[in-house]
Chain A
Amino acid sequence: MMLNWMRANLFSSWGNSLLTLISLWLVWVIGSGIVEWALIDAIFTGDNREACLVPGAGACWPYVGAKWNQFIYGRYPLESQWRVDLIFAMGAGALIPSMIEGMRGRRWFVLFLLLPFPVITYVLLTGGMFGLAEISSDLWGGLVVTLIVAVTGIVASLPLGILLALGRQSDLPLIKAICVVFIEFWRGVPLITVLFMASVMLPLFLPDGVVIDKLLRCLIGVALFSSAYMAEVVRGGLQALPKGQTEGAQALGLSYWQSMRLIILPQALRLVIPGIVNTFIGLFKDTTLVLIIGLFDLLGIIQLTFTDAGWSTPQTHNTGYVVAAFIFWIFCFAMSRYSQRMEKRLDVTGER
């Protein structure tokens, strides 16, 4: 059985056999290198750099152990980290049921995530009220900041992007012009410029003594930037729909918003799920750019830990970057898998 499958799929011809063997060899070379570095030659225990200074040592895992707390929370005070944990728990606790099809009360979980959850997150993270100690945002860092920037960008960009896409297709010239200018402006500048303007130039324009939190400036910049991209993705979906759909909706006597909500957008958005998720994944990875304005996202905090002389070894960088890559990969892969599932499901229901 197995042999037949292999003959049919891997060794069906001389050329294919050769390719199979080359591929296997490549997998072996790369795979064994990784295993050797990450497991066999790696150092697993130790209290400081001395442990990882063994000649020929692989990954320096005790460094990750010592800095893990910072990777996740940045410099968020230890005694208040339960607040972040609580947010993580609430977020995951509401997100998972809200993604499961046919879950009872799914709507309520989604509603919770969209409305009270951001407020709760804000209150818990910043503190300064309800007896919680105030924690200024320059102590935030690590995965917390990465997720805050990414989630804010993702959550804000979808509704804004849909509105912009609709506005761009609008018959009202003023609205259309505003949307076109907005989209083209934000798409025309690189994200790094946006962040830089938000962090460096904006404070110079503000009146003396008014200081807007740096993280907030960056969040607004990211949200506006990603909504422009989202608008173009959504517009692609709108344009792909045959005109008959709109005409049909009008013939039914539906108002503009009704037809959009009930007929056009459900179909258009379904068409562009890959594009939307692509934008989300891109945005998630772009969050590392906040490093340039002195915020410590996951990658930033990992780079910060490289500068601790107590852990600087030839392998510290490699280990840190591998950890960063792995964490980013987990999140991006999860998003990608979820979108594939959603596409499949929507396709099935589409075949009516």
Chain B
Amino acid sequence: MSLRQEILRLGLGAAFVMTAGTATAASTLETTQKNDEVACGVSQGLPGFSSVDDQGVWSGIDVDVCRAVAAAIFGDADKVRYRPSSSKERFTALHAGEFDVLSRNTTWSLTRDTAQSLDFVAVNYYDGQGFMVRKELGVDSALELDGATLCINAGTTTELNAADYFRTNGMSFEAVTFEKSDEVVAAYDSGRCDAWTTDASGLYSNRIKLANPADHKVLPEIISKEPLGPAVRQGDDQWADIIRWSFYAMVAAEELGINAANVDQMKSSPNPEIQRLLGVSGTMGEKLGLRADWAYQIIKQVGNYSESFERNLGENSHLKISRGLNALWTEGGLMYTPPVR
């Protein structure tokens, strides 16, 4: 680039204006390929879902969706541009094209699917509201919480769900509400309430902030449905398919017993399902508009769903969340993938 061009560029660039070409003409996949990275909307930090480590590297189960998509498209899971967005601006930012996948612990609901013009493509974490109590209380079920004081975030659906649940079961409770979740944690920790209720993932991720995490347990009852999953803009079905199947490839890999360590051996497996998934036979990649080894790259670089879960949320993480609803359907959970054929 000549000096003159650089000066010209400086002048233009000074306005910070980036013209990303005409977005309407090109499909999202084409735009992504041109930019050589997947623009992925993540949270502003939620332990286990998307957070930043000491080196500034994003990790988490939501981040792994972004990485899987990048691995499927480019064969390189690191080709992701993370766009942290607040819960208030996430949908507009997706529509405005600031990012192409929203993988940000977002609950799939009818209104969001329709009125917000989103397409939820899969559920990567089945969450739901739960209760945490002190072990010394001797409570084993939420049904034993009659008359308890509950620490709750003010003005959220959490509060309404709890009220519904207690009324349905003919129990009473006293709510102690707080504006911020940090205050709720502090109040519960100081013993102001018997139990603390929020989404189960939140209970687990905040438990490690308590003075003695081992003294507390999460009760088995889940009283609301919070299916969290990646979403895309409505209207680009090919793109939605790519995100959906990038995630399903991870679940399918777990079903088939393929993981990052054994994926190379598995390539020579005689099982036709494995052969199709790994691109040894069939044209699955081509049908998605991707390379033949798309799923191989995902599994090799990101791992199967179990590996991602255990690394970010489960036993290998600080959170120690059990699989619960997120176990495979064959193991009593809800994780199920349509056949890859």
- A313/B95 in contact, CB under 8 A: no
Q: Is the CB of B97 within 8 A of A209?
A: yes
- Which segment of B48-56, B70-78, B271-279, B332-340 sits at the interface? B48-56
For B39, give the chain A residue with the smallest CB separation.
Answer: A138
Bound-state CA distance A308–B23 (Å) is 35
Is A304 positioned at the interface, with any CB of B under 8 Å from its CB?
Answer: yes
B170 in the interface (beta carbon within 8 A): no
Q: A304-B44, A314-B189 are in contact. Are A138 and B13 (CB under 8 A)?
A: no
Do B23 and A75 touch (CB < 8 A)?
A: no
Q: How far is the CA of A119 from the CA of B81 in the complex (A)?
A: 26
Partner of A200, one of B6, B52, B88: B88
| B97 close to A129 (CB less than 8 A) | no
Q: Nearest residue in B to A217 (C-beta to C-beta)? A: B16
Task: Verify if B319 is at the interface (C-beta below 8 Å from A).
Answer: yes
Check B52–A305 contact: CB distance below 8 A.
yes
Question: Is A199 an interface residue when CB atoms closer than 8 A count as contact?
Answer: yes
In B25-80, which residues have CB < 8 Å from any A CB? Answer: 44-48, 51-56
The answer to whether A308 and B54 touch (CB under 8 A), given A122-B14, A294-B93, is yes
CB of B140 within 8 Å of the partner chain:
no
- B10 engages A70 (CB within 8 Å): no
Which residues of chain A from 55 to 113 have a CB within 8 Å of any chain B CB?
Answer: 55, 66-67, 69-70, 74-75, 78
Instruction: Report Cα–Cα, A200/B6, bound state, in Å.
Output: 32
Q: Is the pair B318, A294 in contact by a Cβ cutoff of 8 Å? A: no
Please name all residues of chain B whose beta carbon is closer than 8 Å to the beta carbon of A75 when the two chains form the complex.
52, 56
B93 touches A138 (CB 8 A): no
Q: Quick check: B86 and A292 within 8 Å, CB to CB?
A: yes
Contact string, B80-91, partner A, CB cutoff 8 A, digits 1/0?
Answer: 011111101100
B212 contact set on A, CB distance < 8 A: 55
Residue of chain B at shortest CB distance from A313: B209
Q: Which residues on the B side are within 8 Å of A199 (C-beta)? A: 89, 93
Contact, CB under 8 Å: A209 / B317: no
Describe A's contact surface by its main secondary structure.
helix
Q: Are A214 and B51 in contact (CB under 8 A)?
A: no
In the complex, are the beta carbons of A309 and B208 less than 8 A apart? yes
Most chain B CB neighbours (cut-off 10 Å) among A78, A130, A211, A215: A211
B110 in the interface (beta carbon within 8 A): no
Choose among A203, A206, A316 the residue that contacts B209 (Cβ–Cβ < 8 A).
Answer: A316
List the A side residues contacting B56 at CB < 8 Å.
Answer: 69-70, 74-75, 78
How long is the Cα–Cα vector from A252 to B9 in the complex, in angstroms?
A: 49
A130 in contact with B96 given A122-B14, A314-B210 (CB within 8 Å)? no
Q: List B contacts of A280 (CB < 8 A).
A: none
B44 in complex: contacting residue of A129, A137, A209, A294, CB < 8 Å:
A294
- Decide yes or no whether B211 CB sits under 8 A from chain A: yes
Most chain B CB within a 10 A radius of its CB, from A55, A293, A294, A316: A294
Check B44–A308 contact: CB distance below 8 A: no
Quick check: A66 and B88 within 8 Å, CB to CB?
A: no
| A55 in contact with B211 (CB, 8 Å) | yes
Q: Counting CB contacts under 8 A, is A169 at the interface? A: no
For A195, the closest partner residue in chain B by CB is: B89
Whether A129 and B9, one on each chain, are in contact in the complex, defined by CB atoms closer than 8 angstroms, is: yes
Q: Does A270 contact B (CB under 8 A)?
A: no
8 Å CB interface, A208-222 against B = 208-216
Per-residue CB contact flags for chain B residues 185-223 toward chain A (1 = under 8 Å, else 0) read 000010000000000000001001111100000000000
Given contacts A136-B81, A307-B47, contact A211 B18 (CB under 8 A): yes
Q: Which residues of A contact B205 (CB under 8 A)?
A: 307, 309, 312
Which residues of A275-324 have CB atoms within 8 Å of chain B's CB atoms?
291-294, 296, 300, 303-310, 312-314, 316-317
If the complex has contacts A212-B16, A307-B46, are A138 and B84 also in contact, measured as CB distance less than 8 A? yes
Bound state CA distance, A309 and B59, in angstroms? 11
Contact B51 A308 (CB under 8 A): yes
B10: chain A residues within 8 A (beta carbon) = 119, 123, 129
Minimum CB–CB distance for A126 against chain B, Å: 7
Answer yes or no: A168 CB below 8 A from chain B CBs: no
Nearest CB in chain B to that of A56: its residue: B211
Chain A residue contacts of B85, Cβ below 8 A: 294
| Chain A residues near B23 (CB-CB < 8 A) | 208-209
B210: chain A residues at CB < 8 Å are 314
- Report the bound CA distance from A130 to B5 in whole Å: 11
User: Are A70 and B92 interface neighbours, CB within 8 A?
Assistant: no
Looking across the interface, which residue of chain A has its beta carbon closest to that of B85?
A294
Q: B51 is contacted by which of A66, A136, A307 (Cβ under 8 Å)? A: A307
B21 at the interface (CB under 8 A from A): yes
List chain A residues, Cβ under 8 A from B156.
none
In the assembled complex, A235 has its CB within 8 A of some CB on chain B:
no
Asked if A186 is an interface residue, CB under 8 A from chain B, the answer is: no
For this complex, 30 residue pairs linking A to B, each with C-beta atoms less than 8 Å apart, are A66-B54, A75-B52, A75-B56, A78-B56, A119-B10, A128-B9, A129-B1, A130-B6, A136-B81, A200-B93, A201-B92, A203-B95, A203-B98, A211-B19, A211-B20, A211-B96, A213-B16, A213-B18, A216-B16, A294-B84, A294-B86, A303-B44, A307-B205, A308-B47, A308-B54, A309-B48, A309-B205, A312-B208, A312-B209, A313-B208
For the complex with contacts A304-B51, A312-B47, 5 further pairs of A-B residues with Cβ separation under 8 Å are A69-B56, A138-B81, A200-B88, A308-B53, A310-B53
**Across chains A and B, which 7 residue pairs bring their CB atoms closest together, nearest first?**
A203-B96, A307-B45, A309-B318, A216-B16, A307-B51, A304-B45, A209-B23
